[in-house]
Amino acid sequence: MDFQGILDRLTAIRAPGLVGSDEPRKADPKDKKDKGRAGDPFAIVDAQLLSEFVRACRDDDRLHFEQLVDLTATDPSKDAAELWINVQLLSLKFRHRLAIKALLPKAAASLPSLVPVYRASQWHERECAEMFGIRFVGHPDPRNILLPDDWVGSPLRKDYEFPKEYHGISCE
Amino acid sequence: MANEVTNTMPPSTRLRRTDASEVTVDIRTPDLEINFGPQHPATHGVMRVLMRTDGELVTGAQPHLGYLHRCAEKIGENVEWLQYLPYTDRYDYLASMNNNLGYSLAVEALLGVEIPRRATLIRIICAELNRIGSHLVAFGTYGLDIGAFTPFLYCFREREWMMSLFEKICGARLTYSYIRIGGVFNDAPPGWFEEVARFCDVFEQKWPEYVDLLLVNQIYVKRTANVGVISREMALDFGLSGTMVRGSGIDWDLRRDMPYMCYGEIWRDGAFTIPVAKGEMGALGDCWDRSWVRVMEMMESIKIVRWCLDHMVDGAVIGELPKTLKVPAGEAYVGIENPRGELGHYVVSDGGKVSVRTRVRGPSFCNLAVLEDILPGSLVGDAVAIIGSTDIVVGETDR
Amino acid sequence: MTPAHMLVQEAAPVTVGSGSNAFLEGLVATLGEYLPQWALWLGAAVTGVAIVMGLISLIAMFSVWLERKVAGHIQCRYGPMYVGWHGWLQSIADGVKLLLKEDMIPRDADRLLFMIAPALVLAAIVAAMAAYPLAPGVFFADLDLGVFFVIAMSSMTTIGVVMAGWASNSKWTVFGAMREAAQVVAYEIPLGVALLVPVMVAGTLNLREASELQSDWYGMGWFMFKNPFMLPAFVLYFIAALAETKRAPFDLPEAESELVAGFMTEYSGIRWSFFFMEEYAAMFLMSALAAVFFLGGFESPLTWAAGEFFGRELFVAGANGAKELNLQAIPYHAVAGLTLLIKTFAGIFLMMWLRWTLPRVRVDQVMTMGYKYLTPLALACALGAALWEAGKQALLG
């Protein structure tokens, strides 16, 4: 199915947490400031209901998203108040993908874990947690995965300050 | 699994008094906790697996990553679009062409440029040759893990030729930075295509050697059949891709099912097939199946290369792009079929010279997650076989 | 009684055959005129050990070069080519390098055991080498125990290996040591039982006598052709020998890709080279046993012809009744010794060939093969050979 078909199906099954969608568009000739948006369409979902949303995506017969391909986060800019959670789902049976975005306030970055739905998200969530400081509630093993266990800070946030030294080794 | 050593029998059963004159003592000893890595010949890079073993039987495994973490994603937010290309070479350094390709396709999805046909065909040739090279390393080093020293050198003999082909076209042997945004950066020198055709012919003759010497060798079969079985459900639940799913009997290949560049055209012409394991030597989804898929895929790549050589056209090899690239605002995810699985690049742009987010979905990272589940219950020798069969490159696992 | 007999008697009480130490008697007779008895003792002991050590070193050096060339050519490359003609000086260069290396002992290792282990391993093999017959009339000790002694001494190397694994204070080396112990114990049985077949046919454990018994049929009267159960016994013996000497496909104790270097991981420099020398010396001995008991030992048509032409006795009764050296017989002994050497190295070549071709068998499969397949087969072979011999005796008298 194409994106519109997936979106219609999601609305039809009343997938929990579906807030809206965003699709690429050309620049608006009337508005000089609007450059348009390139790339992929994605669905916008409420972060707290993300886990149930992907469960609905996985369990529905017409959507049949067997695999979670990617779960990551983005910090759009230093001034932005919200982080994005980006999820990519894949259906092998129907050969379609779905990109999902959930907005998470930086001040209260926590949401239920997707591990009960897809085991694949276990390691992705660990990476997100250490890189962005997001807390995944209910994650079975919330340790750092790529960074050392005693690392301070969330490196991929835009306001991250590099440490001056680590265990006596200078980082200049 | 915490870091302390624990007894496997509860204290109450260790020492039992049956009556005044008889005492039973449980002689079970605590499990051994050993570090498999980070310096170890068989972990395919700098990776550590904290294993708990009861003698030779593995009772628990916990991979520890991050020894090769080089902050690729953070760097992506600090360098310009085109400057990021050499970093992409270095995550899966055995299949650099494919990494370049994935990144370039993702950025081109945002740019919306048209890639010249000649560039697309050369890209496919390079990607498939690199796939052959990567599988040769995977198969050869897997033989080394199992204890067969010779097939490794036979595989590297062909790989040397592949690397010299790449050296002729772009000057580098391992990290190419050849496939760039908009096309490829250099046209093929005269005689290159003829040499590629010769390589294909010679490789086709040498390929049965790998099968005879290693793949159907009884000792190899006994070491890899029924070992590390990944069921279909586990493969889907863990988000595995590439040889890992085809080795478990799932017929899925991004080149055919979600085609990019002209793979759809090549598939419709019937030029190649997708080898899917059938569980010939043991349970479906064991290590033998995965190595079988890799060996078969090498021949399929040869067929794709031959198709591209036959359909080669003249023309430009790179589109017109400004020196300092400003990519239109937006976000795109493009997943391609890397030798190890689905390599995904998720790029976010705000219209500037530098990306807002360059996310790399490394297939080795996702494929490695099954280790915690399939290692317990195997022997230490099997653990080596299983880790080798996941065909991970730690550069891609850690990025 | 000659000094060599004294040495052997101290090691183990053996009965020495009467007419078999012509060489030593002759030597003692010639030298006894000049030196006192105790000097002859000491001289004999030191010379014996020195020659054996020298022999082992030469064998190890040559085997290392052979292994690297064989490995290279099987892998479509040349192997060492720079140091000397086709790299024949490479072993010497490696030896010099190893001598110059820093002697590292891990801080928490058991120092005494760590240092003793390689010495023990080498000492066991040096002792076993005493039974190797250099030529029909030239040997270190004519042991009636022969093959029994060799197998017993070469099994002692296991103690050294387990010691090395334990003393290194590393979990991986302990793995290697445990695997070694299990593997060697498992394959002792098929090794011994498979050797029982030619011993039955020969009727003697003595290597020299067994070789002499194969001199009929113009030098082709090898035991291999004298009993239909010899060929399966040979195959079983060879497989068991591969397992005993820790060669691929049974190189688990030193499995490179699993245990880095197994029990040898923490050893470097000369200590490590002791293990290496022991490995090649053990290979040499196992191959020599196969050559002597299955493949005719000294005998071949060339040896037979040389014997006919030159004469076989090295020490003949001289003019005044004492034994003196028969120079004319030396070419025969040289040819015979060379024949045995060639057969031994053919066996070594086969072992090397197998190492670079076959993958490694897993530890539980090694045990299964040893206990469940090789042992019953070896016992069946021995039984069949015994019945054959008995039947032959009954029918032919």
The pLDDT value recorded for residue B28 is 73
pLDDT tens for C33-44 read: 777 777 877 887
What is the arithmetic mean of pLDDT over C43-53? 83
Q: Is B350 on the interface with A (CB under 8 A)?
A: yes
**From the candidates C358, C368, C373, which should be mutated to test the interface with B, based on the most B CB atoms within 10 A?**
C358
What is the arithmetic mean of pLDDT over B242-257? 91
pLDDT reading at B247 higher than 60 = yes
Q: Is B356 on the interface with A (CB under 8 A)?
A: yes
Half-sphere exposure of B145 toward its Cβ, with a 13 Å CA cutoff? 27
Residues B87 and B224 in one domain: yes
What is the arithmetic mean of pLDDT over B186-214? 90
Q: Is B308 on the interface with C (CB under 8 A)?
A: no
The pLDDT value recorded for residue C23 is 61
Decide if B346 contacts B72 (C-beta within 8 A).
Answer: no
CATH-assigned architecture of domain A3-25+37-170: 2-Layer Sandwich (3.30)
Q: What is the CATH number of the domain that holds B368?
A: 1.10.645.10
- How far apart, in whole angstroms, are the C-alpha atoms of residue A88 and residue B343? 13
Q: Is C5 on the interface with B (CB under 8 A)?
A: no
Helix crossing, C3-11 with C37-74: angle to 10°? Answer: 70
Helix crossing, C90-100 with C270-293: angle to 10°? Answer: 140
pLDDT reading at C376 higher than 90 = yes
What is the arithmetic mean of pLDDT over C347-353? 93
Identify residue C22 by its one-letter amino acid code. Answer: A
The pLDDT value recorded for residue C25 is 64
Report domain extents, chain C: 101-386
pLDDT tens for C263-299 read: 777 888 888 888 888 889 999 999 999 999 999 888 8
Residues B304 and B360 in one domain: yes
**pLDDT level of residue C24 (50, 70, 90 thresholds):** low
pLDDT reading at B74 higher than 60 = yes
What is the arithmetic mean of pLDDT over B152-173? 91
Residues B23 and B143 in one domain: no
What is the arithmetic mean of pLDDT over B303-315? 92
The pLDDT value recorded for residue A99 is 92
The answer to whether the Cβ–Cβ distance between C358 and B219 falls below 8 Å is yes
Structure tokens at B126: 């390079």
The answer to whether the Cβ–Cβ distance between C364 and B154 falls below 8 Å is no
The pLDDT value recorded for residue B372 is 87
Residues B34 and B133 in one domain: no
Residues in chain B closer than 8 A to A35 (CB atoms): 328-329, 351
**From the candidates C258, C260, C352, which should be mutated to test the interface with B, based on the most B CB atoms within 10 A?**
C258
If you count residue pairs, one on A and one on B, with CB atoms under 8 Å apart, how many are there?
115
The answer to whether the Cβ–Cβ distance between B222 and C71 falls below 8 Å is no
The pLDDT value recorded for residue C190 is 93
pLDDT reading at B395 higher than 50 = yes
Q: Is B379 on the interface with C (CB under 8 A)?
A: yes
What is the least distance, in Å, from the CA of B18 to any CA of chain C? Answer: 34
- How far apart, in whole angstroms, are the C-alpha atoms of residue B212 and residue B206? 10
Residues in chain C closer than 8 A to B379 (CB atoms): 362-364
pLDDT reading at B399 higher than 70 = yes
More confidently predicted of B112 and B104? B104
**pLDDT level of residue B197 (50, 70, 90 thresholds):** very high
Burial of C395 (0-12, 13-18, 19+ CB in 10 A): exposed
The pLDDT value recorded for residue B282 is 84
Domain that holds residue B172: 72-398
Domain for residue B160, yes or no? yes
Mean pLDDT of chain B: 87
- Backbone torsions φ then ψ of B24, nearest 5 degrees: -105, 130
The pLDDT value recorded for residue B302 is 94
Residues in chain B closer than 8 A to C256 (CB atoms): 41, 144, 147
Domain for residue B363, yes or no? yes
Identify residue B147 by its one-letter amino acid code. Answer: G
What is the least distance, in Å, from the CA of C250 to any CA of chain B? Answer: 10
Query: Residue C236 has what DSSP assignment?
Result: H
Residue closest to C67 by CA, chosen among C80, C53, C81, C57:
C80
The pLDDT value recorded for residue C333 is 87
pLDDT reading at A57 higher than 50 = yes
**pLDDT level of residue B4 (50, 70, 90 thresholds):** very low
pLDDT tens for C218-235 read: 878 888 888 888 999 999
Residues recorded for chain C: 397
**From the candidates B70, B236, B338, which should be mutated to test the interface with A, based on the most A CB atoms within 10 A?**
B236
Domain for residue B3, yes or no? no
Lowest-confidence range among A163-167, C39-43, C207-211?
C39-43
Residues in chain C closer than 8 A to B40 (CB atoms): 260
Q: Which residues pair with B348 in a beta bridge?
A: B331, B357
The residues in B 201-260 lying below 8 A from A, measured between CB atoms, are: 234, 236-239, 241, 250, 252, 257-258
Chains B and A touch (3+ CB pairs under 8 A): yes
B348 closest CB neighbour out of A68, A74, A88: A74
The answer to whether the Cβ–Cβ distance between B74 and A76 falls below 8 Å is no
Distances from the Cα of C281 to the Cα of B267, C121, C143, angstroms: 59, 11, 19
What is the least distance, in Å, from the CA of A147 to any CA of chain B? Answer: 6
Number of structural domains chain B divides into: 2
Q: Is C353 on the interface with B (CB under 8 A)?
A: no
Range C282-285 contact pairs with CB under 8 angstroms and sequence separation of 24 or more: C282/C125, C282/C154, C282/C157, C282/C244, C282/C245, C283/C63, C283/C245, C283/C247, C283/C348, C283/C351, C284/C59, C284/C63, C284/C344, C284/C348, C285/C125, C285/C128, C285/C129, C285/C132, C285/C150, C285/C154
What is the arithmetic mean of pLDDT over B203-214? 88
> B89: part of which helix (H) or strand (E)?
helix B85-89
**From the candidates B219, B287, B378, which should be mutated to test the interface with C, based on the most C CB atoms within 10 A?**
B219
Domain for residue B77, yes or no? yes
Domain for residue B1, yes or no? no
pLDDT tens for B18-34 read: 566 666 677 777 788 88
The pLDDT value recorded for residue C69 is 92
Mean pLDDT of chain C: 83
**pLDDT level of residue C322 (50, 70, 90 thresholds):** low
pLDDT reading at C196 higher than 80 = yes
The answer to whether the Cβ–Cβ distance between B222 and C365 falls below 8 Å is yes
Domain for residue B210, yes or no? yes
Query: Residue C144 has what DSSP assignment?
Result: S
Residues in chain A closer than 8 A to B357 (CB atoms): 74-76
What is the arithmetic mean of pLDDT over B114-119? 91
Residue closest to C354 by CA, chosen among B344, A90, B149, A110:
B149
Domain for residue B4, yes or no? no
What is the arithmetic mean of pLDDT over B86-104? 91
What is the arithmetic mean of pLDDT over B240-255? 91
Residues in chain B closer than 8 A to A92 (CB atoms): 236, 250, 252, 257
Q: Is C134 on the interface with B (CB under 8 A)?
A: no
What is the arithmetic mean of pLDDT over C160-170? 87
Q: What is the 3-state secondary structure (H, E, C) of C277-337?
A: HHHHHHHHHHHHHHHHHCCCCCCCHHHHHHHHHHCCCCEEECCCCCEEECHHHHHHHHHHH
pLDDT reading at B340 higher than 60 = yes
The pLDDT value recorded for residue A167 is 85
Residues B126 and B98 in one domain: yes
Q: Which residues pair with B302 in a beta bridge?
A: none
Domain for residue B2, yes or no? no
Report domain extents, chain A: 3-25+37-170
More confidently predicted of B51 and B39? B51
**pLDDT level of residue C4 (50, 70, 90 thresholds):** very low
If you average pLDDT over each of A15-19, A106-110, C68-72, which comes out highest? C68-72
The ipTM is 0.91
Tell me the DSSP string of B336-383: EEETTEEEEEEEEE-SSSB-SEEEEE-HHHHHHTTHHHHSTTSBHHHH
What is the least distance, in Å, from the CA of B215 to any CA of chain A? Answer: 29
Residues B188 and B42 in one domain: no
Q: Which residues pair with A170 in a beta bridge?
A: A165
The answer to whether the Cβ–Cβ distance between A74 and B73 falls below 8 Å is no
If you count residue pairs, one on B and one on C, with CB atoms under 8 Å apart, how many are there?
81
Residues B344 and B325 in one domain: yes
Residues B308 and B267 in one domain: yes
Closest residue in C to B144 (Cα) is C257
pLDDT reading at B176 higher than 50 = yes
User: For chain C, what percent of residues have pLDDT higher than 70?
Assistant: 88
Q: Is B144 on the interface with C (CB under 8 A)?
A: yes
C256 closest CB neighbour out of B41, B157, B214: B41
What is the arithmetic mean of pLDDT over B334-339? 93
User: For chain C, what percent of residues have pLDDT higher than 90?
Assistant: 22
pLDDT reading at C240 higher than 80 = yes
The pLDDT value recorded for residue B319 is 83
pLDDT tens for C173-193 read: 888 888 888 888 899 999 999
Phi/psi region, residue B139 (left: phi>0; alpha: psi -120 to 50; beta: rest), is alpha
